[in-house]
Amino acid sequence: MKDPKARLEALRADIERRNPAQPEFHQAVREVLESLAPVFAARPDYADPAVALVERLTEPERQILFRVPWTDDRGRVQVNRGYRVEFNSALGPYKGGLRFHPSVDIGVVKFLGFEQVFKNALTGLGIGGGKGGSDFDPHGKSDAEVMRFCQSFMTELYRHIGEHTDVPAGDIGVGGREIGFLFGQYRRVTNRWEAGVLTGKGQGWGGSAIRPEATGYGSVLFAAEMLKVGGRSLDGLSAVVSGSGNVALYTIEKLQQLGANPLTCSDSQGYVVDEKGIDLALLRQIKEVERGRVSEYAQRRGPSARYVPGGRVWDVPADAAFPSATQNELEERDARTLIANGVKAVSEGANMPTTPEAVHLFQSAGVAFGPGKAANAGGVAVSALEMSQNAARATWSAERVEDELAGIMRSIHAVAYETAERYGAPGDYVTGANIAGFERVADAMLAQGVI
């Protein structure tokens, strides 16, 4: 067999050649491949060119691109693109969110789908990986416009999904409102009440308790597990949180429940720092009810809060950091600032929010770093629990779901930590998560033949 590192480098070059102009996908693939040399050395069957395991794993099983025409409130027809990448189903039906944001393109969706394969494998819940979305921007649109877009989007997507095939959920720009419109249209065009086809539904019609909270809660619980290894806890620590969407809101909530003091939130225009700690009730009113900007929080909170337009939330000194907005938001310069200010742990609530250079800096400085495919797996974990409830036509209590979530996050931390130790990289959660997820998917693929 060719030297493992040389083979992996050849694979990486070929993947980038065959997927041009997709930098986010290249970045996600590179991070995983960089972890696999010791695995290839230990398990030559994974690296055997005759079975092309990694070539198959990095190529989506199906990529769907479609037109989404809809009519705005002025009566004018608008046209967006819709995407669904069904990446890998070796462990179960494709599972992953839908993202509605102007930045969405096929490369972004492929990166998200590829990450989802390993994240879902780490949960141990029997779900494959997929992702989708559109370049549609729901911000500033009326409820009627969002409804018409969602109905048009689902009119095409419905033929590709199902509870045993592909189960979408929400992501950036797709919350409870959008999931409701999408589910309603699915019922309309299929004439079926198939609750398990979408997750993130309202609790009154097939949704699960704790689903809105799950990603943010999970990120904090993972951070708590990392700190526990070093004999610390979140109690009494300060934290910086980026974003002000669903993940950020519930990251702030769980931090407060565990005794930490979250100081910040942000949006695309700037950030707020509140010396007294974020007033979660006020932030929720502005973001979830009024759909406003974080600048309004500073105006209404009083002298303890200030708004920094266009600033970097990572400039605020804190003990822990939770990037919870979008990909590549925490760069090398930000990592240097956080390290200089004494950060002890970083837990990714968003998908790949930290650049590779920043990750390496954190690891070199001994900062506990929780990668998204492990730290933010709480959302998809509770989505899978929602699927279980739908299959049984049962409703679990919030206490039961939260207990299940906590157990899953402890398990993900343990397998990432133990796998890193097994492969000679103690404390390296990136390596541990990548290898643990890879092994679970690879073993299933080998067992099922060349498909």
170 annotated ligand binder: yes
110 annotated ligand binder: no
Cβ atoms 251, 241 nearer than 8 A: yes
Q: Look up residue 377 and give its two tokens.
A: 């797996």
Angle at 189 between CA 188 and CA 190, to 5 degrees: 100
CA distance 213 to 208: 11
Is residue 410 packed enough to be buried (19+ CB in 10 Å), middle (13-18) or exposed (0-12)? middle
- The single residue listed with the structure tokens 């479609």 is 66
Of 230, 233, 298, 290, the residue nearest 263 (C-alpha): 298
Query: SS in 3 state form for 248-317?
Result: HHHHHHHHHHCCCEECEEEECCEEEEECCCCCHHHHHHHHHHCCCCHHHHHHHHCCCEEEEECCCHHHCC
Strand order in the sheet with 320-322: 261-262, 238-241, 320-322, 345-347, 368-370
Q: Look up residue 250 and give its two tokens.
A: 């519930």
246 annotated ligand binder: yes
215 annotated ligand binder: yes
CA distance 374 to 359: 14
Neighbours of 235 (CB within 10 A): 10
Q: What is the largest CA-CA distance in the chain?
A: 66
| List of E strands, 118-260 | 129-134, 166-170, 238-241
95 annotated ligand binder: yes
CA distance 196 to 181: 15
Catalytic site positions? 131
Q: Look up residue 2 and give its two tokens.
A: 């060719």
Q: Which residues contact 325 (CB under 8 A, 6 or more apart)?
A: 242, 243, 245, 247, 248, 266, 350, 353
Q: Which parts are annotated binding residues?
A: 95, 116, 119, 170, 215, 246, 383
Q: Which parts are annotated binding residues for substrate?
A: 95, 116, 119, 170, 383
Q: Which parts are annotated binding residues for NAD(+)?
A: 215, 246
